[in-house]
Amino acid sequence: MVSFSSCTFIHLNLTRIKQTQPQGDTAQDKPRSWQFFIWFLATALVSFQVGFLSGIYLSTTTRYRIASTENSMSTITTRLEALKWKNITHQQHFTCFNHTALQQLRKKIRSLFPNKDMDPVKVFTASTVESSLLHFPPNASQNNLHISPEPLTPLKLQRTCAIVGNSGILLNSSCGKQIDTNDMVFRSNIPTVNEFKLDVGNKRNIVTMNLVVLKQLVEAFNNKNRYPKQMSNFRQYNNSIIWFQLDLTDEYRLLLTTLADGCKKAHISVYFAFSTVSIRTISRTIWNIPEHVPSAGLMITTAVLTFCDEISLYGFYPFSTDQHNRPLQYHYFDKRIYNYTLSRHKMPLEFSILQKLHDSKIINLKTESCEVL
């Protein structure tokens, strides 16, 4: 645009000069030609400088904006996701559960079970865990569990349950005593508890274990120098129930049998629990997320909705800042900062599901500090 305007300006002035120049006065033609030539050079130089400087400015500004966008995109995405759900203040003293809505949802979840007699979680007795693991059907959701040589004990109906996630929102929350007042407490992926009892509680009835943690523990039992932190955490769950949520393939069965044998030799008494129906599949269906990989927390919640009347969730908050814009670390037990939008579990989406359950008074989603009891 700058060059076009300059050329137009030059053309107009050249026409004006020709129109005003006397026709027969040759003595003045030469000086006017020189003046025009000098003027033309000056105008062209100014136009070039303006265009060049504009180009530098636009190029620099564009590069800065691109770099700035690339560097802050993850932060922007995280904050946008957070703002979608942070505009609702959670009740700290949530006491009035909607049992009617819970029963309706429970019936809907149960309707997805292939067999009405199935239970979402069943537990082996500690004395027969190795033999039971070896004979347990490889695809629990498609087989009749009565062929197992040892009976599996379903979890009984509970009045109050706490599901404790690992989010940094728990740090300095003082929710420990409140968590421990529940009849049954669920945790996920063998987190450390002893150092953070004030915030996360001490009760540890059931803890889930994903494949990564399972493999680390098996390697730790085979080599005492490997994964010492994981082994230290695992010992905190003595007398707890270890719930493996995935179907028992031959690989998983072998790993779990090795772990059970290692626990026996190390005098760590744990019980093993399994889902007799695919909780992952049911979670995808009931929450309408067919392409989504449900997290351990969402799968625990889905299962517990079928056998617990009052459910409270702690440590489920997948954002880098809290509702007061204070920075949060990824886990309450480490200082990593993490972009939850990059997770295959799509945590902000799961949080929206939990938020809706909270709004319906089916669960109590805790995201603020707890009052000291």
CATH number at residue 102: 3.90.1480.20
Does residue 7 form part of some domain? no
Does residue 142 form part of some domain? yes
Q: Is the pTM of this model over 0.75?
A: no
**CA nearest to 292, candidates 280, 303, 301, 278:** 280
The domain of 226 spans: 94-365
Domain total of the chain: 1
Does residue 326 form part of some domain? yes
Does residue 182 form part of some domain? yes
Structure tokens at 70: 């690339």
Reading across the β-sheet that carries 241-244, which strands appear in turn? Answer: 153-154, 122-123, 271-274, 241-244, 206-208, 184-188, 158-164, 308-314, 363-365
Does residue 295 form part of some domain? yes
pLDDT per residue rounded down to tens, the chain (373 residues): 434 443 433 343 434 434 444 444 444 444 456 565 666 666 666 555 544 444 434 343 433 333 333 333 344 444 444 444 444 444 445 668 999 999 999 999 999 998 877 888 888 765 555 555 655 544 444 343 333 445 678 888 999 999 999 988 999 999 999 999 999 999 999 999 999 999 999 999 999 998 999 999 999 988 877 888 889 999 999 999 999 888 778 888 889 888 988 888 888 888 888 887 889 999 999 999 988 889 999 999 999 999 999 999 999 998 888 888 888 888 888 876 665 555 665 778 899 999 999 999 999 999 989 975 5
Does residue 213 form part of some domain? yes
Does residue 355 form part of some domain? yes
